[in-house]
Chains A and B, each alone.
Chain A
Amino acid sequence: MKLSKLFIAAIALVAAVACTKEEEKDTTPAELRSFAFLAEDNAGVLEKDYEAVSIAPEMIVRIPDGGKGRKLVARLTMGENDTATADGAEVVGGKVTVDGTYPIDIIVTNSKSGLSSAYVVKVGKILTLVPTLAATYEEPGAEMYKELDAAINPKTNQPYFFYTRKTIVDGKAASRRIASMVKWNGTSFDAVGNLAFTGEKANPSGIGITFDGNGTPTVVYQGGQASNLVSAMSLSGADWTLLGDAGSAPRAATTYYPNIVSFYDGNTLNVLTQDYAGTKTTKYKGLLSTYNGASWSFKELEGGPEIGGEGHGTSAGLPWAFKSTTTDNGTYVANVYNEHYATVRKFKGGNIEIVADKFVPAGENMTLPGAFCCDSDKDGNVYVTLAKWNAGQMQLYKLNEETKSLEEVAQPIKVTISASGGVSEEIAFGINKATGEMVLIATDANDVPQLYLMSDTGKWSEPISFTEAVASSNIHINFNANGEGFISFISKDLKLTLFTLGREEDVLPE
């Protein structure tokens, strides 16, 4: 009996101290799910839609030219039972007009829980690339010349520069040119191996750099140790070493306008040139020379038109210019046959495939090896620029491997293209592999580079003029994997001139 009384008392005690539960409240938070400026809501202001990449308490939405001084219609989506205000104005039907000049304060309220969430949207400008002079360079004891090639070392992301120069002896520049290489370390130029290493038998021309899989630079050039023949050298420690004998790679060379392309396919160095030493029918055909580390092999490139021919000049049909770009799918080499057409080949694993052939720009009867460039984006899409000779324009094309054609991209740009006396009207074209931004440079009548940027609506911008004039149309645009851009050329006063391409200053509403 006593035990049962104690037990009942225990139960009573527990009941007395047990927690009292509160009534459950609706605590559903209010939630902004999207914020955008749509072209259809902002006709005349926007050509495409721009949306916040992710929703956060503070967000930036960037539009061309920014939001300053602009009334914009914003489109919002919220949670199921949510309503919203923007700067105190009700969002109706998901839309509200806002002033992009100042931060936009958004309050989203859940009608069931009564809870609200606050967000701030700042309308910023899509930041474009701007060139900034980084440095100029003259090799000590030498006078620079106007030949230059530039390439990014894929292992270090540094730009390398291969150039020709004349040694100064007794205060005078020698007549013979010899080539050297430097690289940019972020603040100054460092010599790459010994300088002036290509020999003194002939002036080097058609100079080019490539890198093997370890980031070791290899150079190719006509002249140097062997007149009118092409040699290749690779860096070994501080020394530059010939690959095979001088002039053995390849056996032939071009005439007065050498254009040589080189790249590594695995461990094999590939070099593309005209073939000067062939028969009359093969003479001036494209030649592929490959070096496997021990010896050279040669192969005529298939394709290409008849050389000369009725109604054509004697140089018509020459595989006058090669440009290449390497992607994960292989190396693509674009080739312009003078006064005829363009062909694109893909090189991979020793195989060569023609992926576009006999291409002539629309409205033209032929193309010329001027205004000719090639590059690829991070997705492996290949782009080629070609001359519209009659129209006096450069047109950008995107390779379509399925249809084996080149498709126009953006509007053409006016350039100067000469059909005689040697084609020197090159342009520079590059694609930022990190962002996909496209950049193009064409020189004006005073040899001053004009920079064009591709907008996010697929049009070239108005040109931005440089301050330096160039010694030749030999201009280079290179982007490394980090998205750092470099523009290089030899200036009229014969200095290696380097600009970096950086982002313009960001000014956001505060």
Chain B
Amino acid sequence: MKTINRITMALAALLSLVSCNDKLEIRFEDYFVCIKDEADAETSNFKASSEEDVTTLYVSLIAPPLGETLTVDYEITAGNGLVEGVDYKLLSSKKSVSIANGVTRMPIRIAFMPTPADKSKDNTLKIELKSCSMPSIKIGYPGPSKRFSTHVITKY
């Protein structure tokens, strides 16, 4: 009996020495991309000024390194108070951002021209993330609301 107890204890000691030191894998249910401004907000206001001014939004990837570049497509919808090329211009010709492996966010830059906002019209610019090159990456925060899948800028 004593011998068995000693062996059991020895086994326990041996096991504790060689047990895995792997990191515990913290797995999110979903990896996702989201869009925010520099203040991490879902909406922003932009005051028309006397000069062209640039506002920057960021498409952020919440995931470990994917091993490849992730392309995120987005769509821009302007209210009837804003005309592209007159009131604003997109500094990128593509309606997508490429998030390289190891990078966590990429910018979308929009230049607003020094034109006044007609208060009687809809002066919003909605930037909506539509799809990813990797289907396993979700759009917006997890949950039915899919928050931060869209950013709305209101020019005033």
Say if A and B assemble together.
Answer: yes
Q: How far is the CA of A120 from the CA of B103 in the complex (A)?
A: 13
Q: How far is the CA of A149 from the CA of B130 in the complex (A)?
A: 70
Q: How far is the CA of A42 from the CA of B11 in the complex (A)?
A: 73
Interface residues on B, range: 20 to 34
B19 nearest CB neighbor, chain A only: A17
Q: CB-defined interface of A448-467 with B at 8 Å, one 1/0 digit per residue?
A: 00000000000000000000
Interface size on A, residues (CB 8 A): 26
A118 in contact with B103 (CB, 8 Å) = yes
A109 at the interface (CB under 8 A from B): yes
Q: How far is the CA of A17 from the CA of B106 in the complex (A)?
A: 42
Number of A-B contacts (CB under 8 A): 67
A510 in contact with B20 (CB, 8 Å) = no
Q: How far is the CA of A7 from the CA of B3 in the complex (A)?
A: 12
One of B54, B91, B102 near A116 (C-beta < 8 A): B102
B14 in contact with A14 (CB, 8 Å) = yes
Q: With both chains docked as a complex, state the minimum distance between the C-beta of A121 and any C-beta of chain B, in angstroms.
A: 13
A238 at the interface (CB under 8 A from B): no
B111 at the interface (CB under 8 A from A): yes
Residues of chain B with a CB closer than 8 A to A109's CB = 100-101
Q: With both chains docked as a complex, state the minimum distance between the C-beta of A20 and any C-beta of chain B, in angstroms.
A: 9
Q: CB-defined interface of A1-28 with B at 8 Å, one 1/0 digit per residue?
A: 0010011001001100111000000000
A14 in contact with B54 (CB, 8 Å) = no
A30 in contact with B102 (CB, 8 Å) = yes
A194 at the interface (CB under 8 A from B): no
A435 at the interface (CB under 8 A from B): no
Contacts A14-B15, A17-B20 hold; do A103 and B3 have CB atoms under 8 A apart? no
Q: How far is the CA of A18 from the CA of B102 in the complex (A)?
A: 31
Q: CB-defined interface of B88-110 with A at 8 Å, one 1/0 digit per residue?
A: 00011000000011111111010
A509 at the interface (CB under 8 A from B): yes
B109 in contact with A103 (CB, 8 Å) = yes
Contacts A102-B54, A102-B109 hold; do A116 and B101 have CB atoms under 8 A apart? yes
B18 in contact with A510 (CB, 8 Å) = no
A7 nearest CB neighbor, chain B only: B7
Q: How far is the CA of A102 from the CA of B92 in the complex (A)?
A: 11
B91 in contact with A102 (CB, 8 Å) = yes
B101 in contact with A3 (CB, 8 Å) = no
Q: How far is the CA of A105 from the CA of B109 in the complex (A)?
A: 10
B20 in contact with A19 (CB, 8 Å) = yes
One of A6, A14, A115, A118 near B7 (C-beta < 8 A): A6
Q: With both chains docked as a complex, state the minimum distance between the C-beta of A267 and any C-beta of chain B, in angstroms.
A: 57
Q: Which of B15, B22, B67, B102 has the most CB of A within 10 A?
A: B102
Taking A10-B14, A19-B19 as given, write out 12 further A-B residue pairs in contact, using a Cβ cutoff of 8 Å, ordered by the A residue number: A13-B11, A17-B15, A19-B20, A29-B102, A114-B67, A114-B101, A115-B65, A116-B100, A116-B103, A117-B103, A118-B105, A509-B54
